[in-house]
Amino acid sequence: MNLFILGSLITPGIGLIFWTSVVFLLLVGILGKFAWKPILNAIKTREKNISDALASAESALNDMRELKSNNEKILAQAREERDALMKEAREAKESIIAEAKTKATKESERILASAREQINNEKNAAITDLKNQVATLSIDIAEKILKSDLSSDEKQKALVNNLMKDVNLN
């Protein structure tokens, strides 16, 4: 191996050091201002747009989910309310029926009582009437007895038979 040439291989030349420094620093400046800045900004903006879009999609999904759960809640509430209403209605019906039943029983009892009373009254009236008739009849009989001859037995018997004939036992 030729050491002299190898030596020149690892000896940096002043010219290239100078030009590389100048060109590199200019390149950083120029590319930084006119290329990297707009490109990186654009990429950043796009990434922000994408992440924003994703976030808004996510939030829309959440909103929808919330809406759905709300709907379900409302539905469940409605169902509950309906059940409550129906229960109430059933109770109302039952209470109405029960009330009607008690009313009817009471009414029938009242009617029966009044009928019983009336019957009693009629019976009493009839008894009174019968009593009166018996009294009258008795008086009539007594009158007739008194009027007829009560001397002999036959006569007495005839009289009784006679009287008995007259008695119209109803």
Partner 1 sequence: MASKINTFTRNKIVPFLFFALFLSFSNFIKASDGHEPENHDNHVAVDTTKKKKVDMAAIAIEHVLDSHSWHLWGDHHDATVIPLPVILKGNNGFSFFSSSKFENDVHGTHVVEINGERFVNFEEDIYYASETPNAHGQYLEMHADAKGKMHPTNAKPLDFSITKCTAQLLLSALVLILLFTSIARAYKKTGVTSAPKGKQSFLEPLIVFVRDEIAKSNIGPEKYEKYVPYLLTVFFLILINNILGLIPISANLTGNIAFTFVLAVITFIVTTISANKAYWGHIFLPPAPVALYPILIPLEFLGIFTKPFALMIRLFANMTAGHIIVISLVGLIFAFESYFISPVAVGFALFIDILECLVALLQAYIFTLLTALFIGSAMVEHHHEEHSEEAAHH
DSSP string, 124-158: HHHHHHHHHHHHHHHHHHHHHHHHS--SSHHHHHH
Span 22-81, contacts to partner 1 by CB under 8 A: 23-24, 26-28, 30-32, 34-40, 42-43, 45-46, 49
Least Å distance, CB 49 to partner 1, is: 6
Least Å from the CB of residue 37 to partner 1: 7
Three-class SS of residue 110?
Answer: helix
Cβ atoms of residues 167 and 137 within 8 Å: yes
Give me 91's structure tokens. 């109770």
**Rg of the chain in Å (alpha carbons):** 65
125 binds partner 1 (CB under 8 A): no
- CA 42, CA 133: separation in Å to the nearest integer? 132
Distance in Å, CB of 3 to partner 1, minimum: 6
- Please give the distance of CA 83 from its chain centroid, rounded to a whole number: 3
d(CA 34, CA 128): 137
10 is an interface residue for partner 1 by CB under 8 A = yes
For partner 1, which residue of 8, 70, 105, 133 counts as binding (CB under 8 A)? 8
Stretch that binds partner 1, among 10-18, 124-132, 145-153, 158-166 (CB under 8 A): 10-18
Query: Interface with partner 1 by CB under 8 A: which range of 12-20, 128-136, 144-152, 153-161?
Result: 12-20
* Binding site residues, partner 1, CB under 8 A: 1-6, 8-21, 23-24, 26-28, 30-32, 34-40, 42-43, 45-46, 49
